[in-house]
Structure 1
Amino acid sequence: MDNEHTEKTRLDWRILFGVTVTTLWMTTGIYYVTRVVGWTQFQSLPTADIGSFFEGAFAPLAFLWLVIGHFMQQKEITANTRATTMQEQSTRRLELHSRRDSYFKLLGLVQEQLGSIAGFHYVSVFGPTGSDEVTLEEFSTLRSEASTGDHSLFIRRMVSAAASNRDDAEAVTEMLFGTEIRTRHSDNFKRTFGRLLDAAESVDTDNMLREALLEGSAAGLYYRIIRHVAGDEEMDPISGIRNTIP
């Protein structure tokens, strides 16, 4: 704080230079009039000559201060430009921070939506209309568990089912796209997660968030499985082998 105050109150060297030159110039002029011309003779000069004398005497000073003022103005412009740039950078950081906050709020809602989509897909595959391995009562219990905060419960179960049948391409395809309802759920999950990835790219220039979602989450793995089965991705995300599932 003291350094900032000192910086503000310290005179610029250009002003000190101008004051010094002006003082020397004025002292020299007074000395010239006093010792060389004499005040008596100077006062007896015609008014036009006195005006010409002062014009010639002060013209160099006027030019000097004009130049000093120009450089001082350039300094102020540079300082204002620097301040404006810093303000713009600060505004960008605040905007990015605000966008990230909004994204993470959105992330929680979308993860809940993805879990709900996977839940309906799960009951379609393993419920009464599917293999009948899960009753509606069991499904309701699982949904209650998922609603308490474990939004990826059904996603993990779908990933586990796909992994268990990774050697049976037809079974995985049937599970994800075997009926119109399952196809709709798979497409809905893929579209929603894809938009989440696009939003992650807009708030994270290093793509760390996108990679974490795609590579380090159950939803990302399930998204890649759906894309692989749909033919949008060559690499099988479960086995790491290309084209194991057509």
Structure 2
Amino acid sequence: MGTNNALIRFIHGTDWRIWLGIIITLLWIVGGGWYVLQVSETAPTQNFSLAAVGSFLEGAFAPLAFLWLVLGLFIQQRELANNTEAVRRTSEQSEKQTQAIAATEMNARQETYFKIAENVKHQLGGISGMLLVSSIGPVGSGRINREQMDDYFAQAARGDDSVFARMFISTDFPDEGGLEEMLYGTEIRTKHSRNYMRAFEKLRRLARNCDVDRIIEDTLMQGAFGLLYERMVTYDPKSTNAASSTEGQ
């Protein structure tokens, strides 16, 4: 049973051109044999010398040699085409694997970003809270008393990390001298603002490196933390002085 299956697979796996060549060769040999028999019967006294036999065999098998040469060329072309197709499929598979690896790496980066972003946003919320205390809280102008400030910190502890950032971007605080005074009016406020910007810039770089379309970065910049960062950059005395020096030159 196994031998029969192997024979069937061999027959189906063999190129049809080979079978065509075998059939033509067998028919040609049978026809040649029949021709020799006919000549022997019609001319029994004819002398077949070695030279005559050699010439006959040369003429008889020359077409077969040419036939197998042509068939060999066609078979070789088919093998080359199959090899080319195999190389193409291998290349496509390699490209898909490369894309899958890149996608997996990007997903890993994004997962890492979101884990880090959660902690960094807690940090940004704490810094902006301390900055608010120093500017309009009990330590600052006193617009927000201690009880209200405790409520805001409790809200931040419940997961609303951007509560203080939203307060900064909700108004320009003209009574306190404007947003520039609130962010950089004292040494401690300047320190808080610079710490905030450094932490946010690190988070922004992470967002940029894990999303080629920059959707995550755009979302970050358009949120409360990003808008507060832009205001800090706008009112930063270092940036203002640098711009003034450039204009003066």
Residues 193-213 of structure 1: CA distance to partner in whole angstroms, max 9, x if unpaired? 222222222233333332222
Residue in 1 that maps onto 2:78: 68
* 1:189 maps to amino acid: Y
* 1:176 maps to amino acid: L
Paired residues of 1:33 and 1:39 also in contact (CA < 8 A): no
Q: Which has the higher helix share?
A: 2
Residue in 2 that maps onto 1:112: 122
* 1:229 maps to amino acid: Y
| Cα distance in structure 1, aligned partners of 2:22 and 2:119 | 78
Paired residues of 2:138 and 2:146 also in contact (CA < 8 A): yes
Number of matched residues? 209
Instruction: Give the alignment's Cα RMSD to 1 decimal.
Output: 3.4
Greater mean alpha carbon deviation, residues 100-109 or residues 175-184:
100-109
Greater mean alpha carbon deviation, residues 73-82 or residues 103-112:
103-112
Pairwise CA distance, 1:40? 7.6
Match of 2:212 among 188, 205, 208: 205
Residue in 1 that maps onto 2:7: none
| Cα distance in structure 1, aligned partners of 2:231 and 2:159 | 24
Pairwise CA distance, 1:119? 1.1
Residue in 2 that maps onto 1:193: 200
Residue in 1 that maps onto 2:30: 34
Q: Percent identity?
A: 26
Residue in 1 that maps onto 2:134: 124
Residue in 2 that maps onto 1:19: 15
Paired residues of 1:128 and 1:136 also in contact (CA < 8 A): yes
| Cα distance in structure 1, aligned partners of 2:193 and 2:127 | 8
| Structure 1 unaligned blocks of 5 or more | 1-14, 234-246
Q: In structure 2, do the counterparts of structure 1 residues 226 and 169 end up closer, same or farther at CA, with 3 Å as the change threshold? A: farther
Pairwise CA distance, 1:130? 2.4
Paired residues of 2:17 and 2:75 also in contact (CA < 8 A): no
Larger relative contact order (CA 8 Å, sep ≥ 6) = 2
Counterparts of 1:1-246 in structure 2 under 5 Å? Answer: 19-38=15-34, 56=65, 58-134=68-144, 138-160=148-170, 162-165=171-174, 170-215=177-222, 217-230=223-236, 232=239
Paired residues of 2:204 and 2:220 also in contact (CA < 8 A): yes
Paired residues of 2:182 and 2:189 also in contact (CA < 8 A): yes
SS in 1 for 2:208: helix
Pairwise CA distance, 1:76? 0.8
Residues 96-118 of structure 1: CA distance to partner in whole angstroms, max 9, x if unpaired? 22222222222222211110110
Q: In structure 2, do the counterparts of structure 1 residues 145 and 19 end up closer, same or farther at CA, with 3 Å as the change threshold? A: closer
Task: Look at both structures and tell me which one has the larger radius of gyration over its CA atoms.
Answer: 2
Residue in 2 that maps onto 1:9: none
| Cα distance in structure 2, aligned partners of 1:109 and 1:190 | 15
SS in 2 for 1:144: helix
| Cα distance in structure 2, aligned partners of 1:225 and 1:193 | 13
Paired residues of 2:162 and 2:224 also in contact (CA < 8 A): yes
| Cα distance in structure 1, aligned partners of 2:184 and 2:69 | 91
| Cα distance in structure 2, aligned partners of 1:112 and 1:210 | 18
Pairwise CA distance, 1:58? 4.5
